Structure 1
Amino acid sequence: MKIQGKMFIWLAVFILAMACVYGVWSKEAAGTTALFMAFGLCIMVGYYLAFTARRVDTGAGDNKEADVADDAGELGFFAPHSWQPLSLAVGGALAFLSICFGWWLMYFSAPIIMVGLFGWVFEFYRGENQNQ
């Protein structure tokens, strides 16, 4: 994680320099804003990775003498299947369509989004995936 954190921080520094150069030379607001937002996203990811790397054990990616097999094993717990992302996607699509067709469409998308969020949060408290 240390290496990935450093890579994102250096990428953020590069994007910041390019945003400044692009902003001065082009005097175009949209591209300059997009580059500054990309800088912010890279800083957030790089800070998170660097911050987390100090609290977890050194992985195989940070060891120069590591083999590929050293990184094998369980990566964590993942949900086997879920229908909740589909409902969130439908609700999100309707919410974005409400910008085009009218804000009245938000009255239909908000309940779908709320049902999807509620179902995703409480997915492991009911049904076949319930923890014993």
Structure 2
Amino acid sequence: MKIQGKMFMWLSVFLLVMAIVYGVWSKEPAGTTALFLSFGLAIMVGFYLGFTARRVDVGAQDNKEADVADDAGEVGFFSPHSWQPLSLAVGGALAFLSIAIGWWLLFFSAPLILVGLFGWVFEYYHGESRTQ
């Protein structure tokens, strides 16, 4: 994970230089602001990955002599099927459409977003375990 942190830190340096150069040459505030915000995002992700890399074990990607098979194994749990992202997508699309059509459309999109978010968070929750 150390290499990802370093990559994002180098990306943040590049974005800072490009934001300054773009801002001086173009004098266009929207693009300059977007580049500075991208710099901020890249440095936040870089610091997070660097901080996390110090607390976890060394991965195969940090070993220069590692093989591809060294990184094999279980990565995590990924849901095989879920309808909750569809509800969130439709609710989000309606919410953004409400900006163009009218704010009244938010009354229809908010319940879809809340149902999708609540369902996704508690999809695999089956209550408290009663083992003693």
Shared fold (TM-score, shorter chain, > 0.5): yes
Distance 1:125 1:61 in 2: 33
Distance 1:55 1:78 in 2: 24
Distance 1:78 1:114 in 2: 22
Distance 2:84 2:41 in 1: 26
2:57 equivalent in structure 1: 57
Distance 1:74 1:33 in 2: 40
Distance 1:83 1:44 in 2: 32
Note the aligned Cα RMSD (angstroms).
1.5
User: When the two structures are superposed, what TM-score results if normalisation uses the length of structure 2?
Assistant: 0.92
Distance 1:15 1:107 in 2: 39
For structure 2, the 5+ residue unaligned runs are none
Contact persistence 1:124–1:131 (CA under 8 A): no
Query: Are 1:106 and 2:119 an aligned pair?
Result: no
Contact persistence 1:91–1:112 (CA under 8 A): yes
Shift of the alpha carbon at 1:11? 0.6
For structure 1, the 5+ residue unaligned runs are none
User: When the two structures are superposed, what TM-score results if normalisation uses the length of structure 1?
Assistant: 0.92
Structure 1 moving runs of 4+ over 2 Å: none
